[in-house]
Amino acid sequence: MSYAIKVRMVGKKKWSFLTRRGTNPLRIHAAQFATPEKAQTLIDDNREENPEWEWKIVDFKTGKPADAIIAKVARRADVPKPLSGIGSSDAVIAALRRAERFLSGFEDDPLQDGIDDDLEAIRSAITCLEKGIAASAALSEQGGGDQQ
């Protein structure tokens, strides 16, 4: 996922995308950021010098505010849920590990923007799934123990 910044003059209705050369209403010209944190850093670095502007981070593909998307992903990552069908989760973990091995080959390449963030997300997903499997196993053991 990539992000862009929308700006508008305070009191105006129309938002435009921030570009490398100024602003443009067309998303295709928007400057892209690998993470919302990188976009926020640019906003923080420039907000004081541009008090007449309003800023917001958006999903590059949809142009919609990224706050809801970021919050939704964070909620999912924070709460490991018990999994059903352990075999299917094993396949997902195996696929994530393959993706991790592949992306780790690009870790030191300065031309590959966002690799560290992608690897962190993959590793976090693996950990979350493993915790979910462990929670499922613990619940199964507790449920089986009550019946004896």
Measured CA to CA, the distance from residue 121 to residue 112 in angstroms comes to 16
DSSP type of residue 55: E
Its pTM surpasses 0.75: no
Tokens of 70: 């970021």
**What's the pLDDT score for residue 144?**
54
**What's the pLDDT score for residue 105?**
80
Domain map (residue ranges) of the chain: 3-67, 80-147
Measured CA to CA, the distance from residue 53 to residue 45 in angstroms comes to 13
pLDDT tens, position by position, 60-95: 888 788 776 556 555 555 555 545 545 567 778 888
Tokens of 103: 């992306």
- Whether residue 57 contacts residue 40, with contact meaning beta carbons closer than 8 Å, is answered with yes
Q: What is the pLDDT along the chain (148 residues), one digit of tens a residue?
A: 789 999 999 989 999 999 999 999 998 899 999 988 888 899 989 989 999 999 999 988 887 887 765 565 555 555 555 455 455 677 788 888 888 888 888 777 777 778 888 888 888 888 888 887 766 666 666 665 444 4
